[in-house]
Amino acid sequence: MFDVNRIREDFPILKEQVHGKPLVYLDNGATTQRPARVVERMSEYYLRYNANVHRGVHYLSNLCTDANERARERARDFIRAASVEEVIFTSGATGGINLVAFSFGEAFVREGDEILVTGMEHHSNIVPWQMLCERKGATLKVLPVLDNGELDMEALSHLLTGRTQLVAVAHVSNVLGTINPVRRVIDAAHAAGACVLVDGAQAVQHLPVDMQELDCDFYVFSAHKMYGPTGVGVLYGRRELLLQMPPWQGGGEMIKEVRFEKTTYNDLPFKFEAGTPDFIGIIGLGEAIDYLSSIGMENVAAHEEALTRHARERLSAIPGLRFHGSSPHASSVISFTLDGVHPLDAATLLDQLGIAIRAGQMCAAPLMQRCGVTAMIRASLAMYNTFQEIDALHDGLLRVVAMLREKR
Amino acid sequence: MKTIKEQEREIIDEFSVYDDWMDKYAYLIELGTALGAMEERFKTDENLIAGCQSRVWLHAESHEGKLYFQADSDAIITKGIAALLVRVFSGQAPREIVEADLDFIDAIGLTSHLSPTRSNGLLSMIKQIKYYAIAYNK
């Protein structure tokens, strides 16, 4: 049975006050909080078991190596990847996308080829592809976003050409909350001979994901947006592709044999993990996955859905409030603007009331232009948020809107 | 004409009547509203200050050895902060502006409440005002 109050007990920070007010944390799309057990697990490894992984023969090194690889198995299971060879630890979703943009680009992208992104991507799923296109003389194309915040799926078939090598698409929009029909994008791309990278940074913490069901070629996510530590993430890659891709970074761990004449590379997944990994962060990610699994992603999704419905209902009663993104297939990310109120002003005043929300471009400048605004307010909800917190946001907004509007 | 220090003293006094930060913000909103709109011809990309989450324009003119500033922002709290800076620095000699060491920001608590200032542009605005002063001081 999902009990939000019991879950809140796991997150000590939720009892904190800011500016003398109880913290209402609604900026989970930027980063979630961590349950104590994740921090405790990491601290335990730092204080009692720390030793570098994969190279030591001594007791502690073996212990950490085992823990690191157990976390990989947990991550594999969490996204239903076929094999741990397909689970590469990165510094985060951004790190994973950059790895693919380089290595896939080296192996498969030639002058005149095309990369297709969508109009709702986060900067980190745009810029690495632009850099790749610049390097290779390839062309970046953009799948448009409809007024309701969904992808223009009709345009997809026209945009996929024989030159399209890769399609990069967000599983869930970090601004609009739209849950994209990625399976349909993947099928269409594969039919056209293109590979697909799915940015799952805003998805894995909200809904179950299954690599076997999705059939994508690459999938990336960050630990810190799913109750794990900062600085760690996962890149899932299809084995046949990873085998054909050159390493991104060189260093220790990623080699088999080093000679000045010729170095041979390690097997998957280590080929793509140069240098000492953040193994304690990885162990923390494993713990976060365990934690999420113990709650059950279906339960998380159900609670967040009810919370989101309540939020959209309450907020829609605020005069002059305009939601951006109205797809019925949406996560608990809610973005809006208020007539006559700058998002930054609203966020500054809400902060005084203890309410943490995001204001600005949300790292998606092209989408802001598409929506015809310079900035938005975003409330992004997590499994530990409550109906009362939504009401606090509603009441807070009424108060700050009154303060800001009466002067104009 | 009051000196920079005198202007600062006045601002500190005005803010001292508010204990609650919501009231201080309400006052900043009032100041931002009172500043009025900047002349459209000065709202150029050249006058746009980089590094703010809201758009902030700052325009400087020199008359008889003194610098005069106009500012505007699409965010009203930011505009209120800009109004304070305009009040402190407008009409001062470039040398005074270059050498000014502001106390009032700390004294009214803006530092702790509005830093890191990337979001509201306070630091960027001061920097830009000082750049103008350095340019006119030559």
pLDDT value at residue B119: 56
Contact across the interface for A344 and B120, Cβ inside 8 Å? yes
Tell me which chain A residues have a C-beta less than 8 angstroms from the C-beta of B32.
407
Report which residue type is found at A223: A
pLDDT, tens digit, for every residue of A250-303? Answer: 998 899 999 999 999 999 999 999 999 999 999 999 999 999 999 999 999 999
Tell me which chain B residues have a C-beta less than 8 angstroms from the C-beta of A19.
21
Please determine, for residue A406, whether its predicted confidence score (pLDDT) is greater than 70: no
Chain B residues bordering chain A (beta-carbon distance below 8 Å): 21-22, 25-26, 29-30, 32-33, 53-55, 74-78, 119-120
**CATH assignment of A4-28+296-405, given 3.90.1150.10, 3.50.50.60, 3.40.50.720, 3.40.50.1950?**
3.90.1150.10
Measured in whole angstroms, the distance separating CA B96 from the mean position of its chain's CA atoms is 15
Residue of A206, A288, A233, A225 whose CA lies nearest to A35: A288
pLDDT value at residue A27: 98
Domain A39-294 has CATH 3.40.640.10: yes
User: What is the predicted ipTM?
Assistant: 0.90
Residue of A38, A75, A363, A53 whose CA lies nearest to A220: A75
Q: Answer yes or no: B130 catalytic.
A: no
Among the ranges given (A61-65, A391-395, B47-51), the one the predictor scored with the smallest mean pLDDT: B47-51
Contact across the interface for B53 and A19, Cβ inside 8 Å? no
Query: What domains can you pick out in chain B, each with its CATH number?
Result: 4-137 (3.90.1010.10)
Q: Which phi and psi (to 5°) does residue A303 adopt?
A: -65, -45
CA distance to A238, A355, A388, A399, B22, per residue, from A396 (Å): 47, 8, 12, 5, 12
Contact across the interface for B54 and A375, Cβ inside 8 Å? yes
pLDDT-derived band at B100, boundaries 50, 70, 90: very high
Q: Are A155 and A130 in contact (CB under 8 A)?
A: no
The DSSP string of A126-138 is: THHHHHHHHHHT-
Report which residue type is found at B44: T
Residues of A designated as active site:
363
Shortest Cα distance from B96 to chain A (angstroms)? 32
Tell me which chain A residues have a C-beta less than 8 angstroms from the C-beta of B51.
none
Residues A112-120: what's their mean pLDDT? 98
Tell me which chain B residues have a C-beta less than 8 angstroms from the C-beta of A359.
53
Tell me which chain A residues have a C-beta less than 8 angstroms from the C-beta of B74.
342, 374
| Residue among B30, B55, B76 minimizing CB distance to A345 | B76
Measured in whole angstroms, the distance separating CA B103 from the mean position of its chain's CA atoms is 13
The DSSP string of chain B is: ---HHHHHHHHHHHHHT--SHHHHHHHHHHHHHHT-PPPGGG--STTBPTT-SS-EEEEEEEETTEEEEEEEESSHHHHHHHHHHHHHHTTB-HHHHHH----HHHHTTHHHHH-STTTT-HHHHHHHHHHHHHHHH-
Measured in whole angstroms, the distance separating CA A396 from the mean position of its chain's CA atoms is 28
Shortest Cα distance from A278 to chain B (angstroms)? 28
pLDDT-derived band at B116, boundaries 50, 70, 90: low
pLDDT value at residue B114: 61
b/e burial code for range A392-408 (CB count within 10 A of at least 16 → b)? bbbebbeebbebbeeee
Contact across the interface for A344 and B119, Cβ inside 8 Å? yes
Please determine, for residue A195, whether its predicted confidence score (pLDDT) is greater than 90: yes
Q: Partners of B71 in the beta sheet?
A: B58
Would you say the CATH fold of A39-294 matches that of A4-28+296-405?
no
Domains of chain A by residue range: 4-28+296-405, 39-294
Of the residues B48, B54, B122, B124, the best mutation for testing chain A's interface (the one with the most A CB atoms within 10 Å of its CB) is: B54
Shortest Cα distance from A18 to chain B (angstroms)? 12
Among all residues of chain A, which has the CA nearest to that of B53? A360
pLDDT value at residue B121: 75
Mean pLDDT computed over every residue of chain A: 96
DSSP state of A74: H
Shortest Cα distance from B27 to chain A (angstroms)? 10
